[in-house]
Amino acid sequence: MSRNIYSSYVRPILTAVVVNIFLLGLIFFGAEFYLRSNTNTSSVSAVGIPIYQNNNLTGYSHKPNTQAENGYGDPVPTIYIDELGLRNSGKDANSTDKTKILLLGDSFTFGTGLSWENTFAGQLDTDYEIYNAGIVGHTTDQYLLRLKQLTPILNPDIAIVNFFVGNDVTEHRRHKWYTKDNKLVQVEDLKVFADESGKLRSKNQIPPKSYVWNFLEQRWQIFHTKFLKKTPSHLKIPTLTWPVFLPEDHAGYDDRIPQFWEQVFESLDQIQTHCKENNIKLLLNIIPMDVQVSEHYWDKYAIRYFDAEAMKADRPQTKLLQYCKKQDLDCLDLLPSFRNHELKDQLYFQNEDPHFDTIGHEVTANLIRNWLDSKE
C-alpha cells in the first residue's frame, strides 16, 4: 500500500519539484549570463577611455596631448586632448580675432559619445574661438579652479559655466575642499581617481556578485519607494541623480542636498568674482535632465524614484534662476526650449546614456549663439 502511495503521489511530486528547480536554475543562470554579457561597463562611456591623470588641483584632469577612441557610430569618434588638457578637433588652431570663449562643464560640455564637430563646442567653434574645458564628472568647484588656472593662459572674453542639473549638485558628495583666505584652492576627490591606464575608476567600485539579484533588488527598491512611499532601511543609499529633483519629505530625498547647494553657490560666487576681476563676461547655462524634457525618456533608467510632480516642479532650475536674479548673473535655461522643441524625443541618446545626442548639441549651440548675439 505504502509503495502504491509513493508511486502514485510522492514520486510525481518529487519529480516535479526537481524538474522545476532545474528549470529555475537554467533560467537564473541564463539571465545571469545575459545580464553580465549585456551590462555596459565602460565601452562607450567617457569614463572608460584612457585620457585622464591625477592632479593636486581638481583631483583628476585630462592628460595633455593624448587621443583615444570613444563614442557611438561607425567609425567611432576619436577624442583629441591638447597640451592644456582641453578637448579640441585635433587640428592645429590658427590665431584669430574671434571672440574667445572658455566652456566649463562636465561630460555634456566634453561631448560624451560624439565627434568634435557634432558637439555644441565644435559647432560654436565655427564662429568663435572655443576652448573646451569640460571634463567628465567635474562640477562647480572644479570649474572654478580650472577657470583660475586657464585665465592667465587663454585670456578669454567670455566664460560659460554649463551646469547639468542631474548631478552638478550631488557630485559635491565626494569632494573635500581646501581653502586659503576663504577662497577655494584645491579639491580632493574622495571617490574617483585615474588608474595607471588613464581610465577613471571608483575607489569603492565593486561589481555585484549576482547581476540577476542586483536587478531584482533594484526593481524592489523602485516598487517599495514609489508605491509604498518608504525606502527599505537596507537600501537607504542616496543615488547620484534623483534626490535633487525631490521634495524634502520624499522617501528618496538625500538630507545632504542643502549642503551641496551651499557648495554650488559658493563656487559660483567665486567664479563670478574672478570673472569681474578679469573683465570676463559670464553665462550660467542650465542643462536639463532628459526625463524633465519628455516622458519619452522615463523608461531609460532602472532606478527612478520620482513621479510627474517631481519631474515638472523643476526644482534645480528654480533655485538656479533665483540665484541668477539675486546675483544679477546672465542665465540661460535650456529646459523651456527643449520641452517645446518639435524633436524633443531625439535630443538625448535613447539608451541608458543620459547625454545629448547630435540634435541636442545642435539645439544647445543655437541657443548659446542667440545669447551671444544679444550681447554684441
Tell me what pLDDT residue 358 has.
Answer: 94
Extended strands (E) in the chain: 52-55, 59-62, 66-69, 78-81, 87-88, 100-104, 129-132, 158-164, 175-180, 183-189, 192-194, 200-202, 281-287, 330-333
> What Å distances lie between residue 35 and 39, 298, 350, 357, CA to CA?
6, 21, 19, 25
Tell me what pLDDT residue 43 has.
Answer: 36
Tell me what pLDDT residue 307 has.
Answer: 65
197-239 residue pLDDT tens: 999 988 765 566 787 777 777 666 656 555 555 544 444 444 5
Structurally, at CATH architecture level, domain 46-209+236-374 sits in 3-Layer(aba) Sandwich (3.40)
51-80 residue pLDDT tens: 999 999 999 999 999 999 887 666 788 999
Tell me what pLDDT residue 238 has.
Answer: 42
Tell me what pLDDT residue 299 has.
Answer: 75
Which residues, 6 or more positions from 43, have their beta carbon under 8 angstroms from its beta carbon?
none
Tell me what pLDDT residue 295 has.
Answer: 86
Q: Which three cell numbers stand for residue 138?
A: 567635474
Tell me what pLDDT residue 231 has.
Answer: 46
Tell me what pLDDT residue 233 has.
Answer: 42
> What Å distances lie between residue 227 and 215, 298, 357, CA to CA?
18, 17, 33
- Residues 65, 68, 73: CA angle, nearest 5 degrees: 140
pLDDT < 70 regions, the chain: 1-10, 38-47, 72-74, 93-95, 204-208, 218-240, 301-307, 352
